[in-house]
Amino acid sequence: MKSLKTLVIAAALSLGAVGVGHAQAPAAAPVEAPVAATAANPAPTAVDTAAPTTAPVATEVAAPAGDATYVPMKPTPGVGQPIDAGIDFQPQVSPVGEQAYWFNHVILLPVITIITLIVLGLMLWAMFRYRAKANPVPSKTTHNTFIEIIWTAIPVLILAVIAVPSIRLLAQQYEPPSKEALTIKVTGYQWYWGYAYPDQGIGEYVSKMLTEDQAKASGEPHQLAVDNRMVVPVGRQVKLIITGADVIHSFAVPAFWTKMDAVPGRANETTFTANKVGVYYGQCSELCGVDHGFMPIAVEVLPVDKWEAWVRSKGGNPAGPVAAVPAAAAPSPVAAGAAAPAATPAATTTEAAPAAAPAAAPVATN
Ligand SMILES: [Cu+2]
């Protein structure tokens, strides 16, 4: 029974993997597409017998990005990191961050400035106009119903107007992730971070701060540079599942408008979508002990093909089970018929199957 369920789940996963081929096909350069079709043509007949031999060829053709090897990217000065004497937010590279930046600069700052100037002006005017020297006989006036209604109604109106974009932004930050989101598990330790990509089969690796010499050598800001970065694809939503291993930490990357506590025994979830390639730094933002200031965060946002190369360099499978979901909807006129079925069952099932087994086991025992 157990093995039957495992089989069924493995079969479902490999069917999903067929879909992945569809998804990858449009990513191939137009020039390469016909090649993919011809190279893969003989395969449909030979899938059962010749699968192991055709597999390497198929992966090469289906993923022309495979030749892109991972080289850690250099950060852009002034982007994704603090600047000297800076008082503004970092330039935002996520939709939520852009929304928040707009809300602050277009709504909040002007409203605050205007109110502050009006109140300051009224105070100065009252101090000057009604000073004791000019008014030997003080006025005994108290209570003015009209003015009291005005100074209650106007602030209420201002708050009501601010509430609309404010609540919209709040809701946007807590929107549940889409099914296509890339899941990364983040664990805060005293005093470093651990990242794992369960769907890609990348087990947890540790991210520690570089020494000053190492940071200088790699052209990065000291106390922000790390040895192993979190690497994500540009434009794809990332779902972070955040926890703490010992005490409470907080995962924060200002350029993404992302901050979430890492609490032991609890899995907190937050999302971000980085829409600009680059290196973005953050820091632990919850006082967590003596080295709290020395557990920085570095997130590298890469084009999809380079991100896939990074996943492979970590021994993972870029087309994890989750990535198969949108594939069914993705039309790929050129390669749908020929390339996809040939390229993927051979290429991906072999990798998906071992990954599927452990995942399926707990389900089966239930
Ligand atoms: Cu910490």
Per-residue pLDDT tens digits for 181-207: 999 999 999 999 999 999 999 999 999
pLDDT band with cut points at 50, 70 and 90 for residue 142: confident
Rounded to the nearest whole angstrom, what is the distance from the C-alpha of residue 53 to the centroid of ligand 1?
A: 48
Rounded to the nearest whole angstrom, what is the distance from the C-alpha of residue 226 to the centroid of ligand 1?
A: 15
Rounded to the nearest whole angstrom, what is the distance from the C-alpha of residue 189 to the centroid of ligand 1?
A: 7
Enumerate residues with CB within 5 Å of ligand 1 (an ion): 249, 284, 288
Instruction: Give pLDDT tens digits for 70-115.
Output: 888 888 888 899 999 999 999 999 999 999 999 999 999 999 999 9
Rounded to the nearest whole angstrom, what is the distance from the C-alpha of residue 15 to the centroid of ligand 1?
A: 42
Residues 334 and 267: beta-carbon distance below 8 Å: no
Rounded to the nearest whole angstrom, what is the distance from the C-alpha of residue 230 to the centroid of ligand 1?
A: 16
Distance CA 249, CA 272 (A): 19
Rounded to the nearest whole angstrom, what is the distance from the C-alpha of residue 312 to the centroid of ligand 1?
A: 29
Position 128 scores a pLDDT of 93
Residues 326 and 255: beta-carbon distance below 8 Å: no
Rounded to the nearest whole angstrom, what is the distance from the C-alpha of residue 207 to the centroid of ligand 1?
A: 12
Q: Is 272 helix (H, G, I), strand (E, B) or coil?
A: strand
257 preceded by cis ω (within 30°)?
Answer: no
Rounded to the nearest whole angstrom, what is the distance from the C-alpha of residue 88 to the centroid of ligand 1?
A: 24
Residues 6+ apart with CB under 8 A from 365: 2
Region 262-281: mean pLDDT is 95
Instruction: Give pLDDT tens digits for 9-57.
Output: 444 444 444 333 333 333 333 333 333 333 334 434 333 443 444 334 3
- Distance, CA of 85 to chain centre: 28
Domains of the chain are: 2-62+330-365 (no CATH), 95-135+145-173 (no CATH), 182-302 (2.60.40.420)
Q: Is 54 helix (H, G, I), strand (E, B) or coil?
A: helix
Question: Taking Cα atoms as reference points, which of 51, 74, 143 lies closest to residue 346?
Answer: 51
Distance CA 133, CA 120 (A): 21
Position 321 scores a pLDDT of 62
Residues 186 and 240: beta-carbon distance below 8 Å: yes
Helix (H) or strand (E) holding 170: helix 145-173
Rounded to the nearest whole angstrom, what is the distance from the C-alpha of residue 218 to the centroid of ligand 1?
A: 24
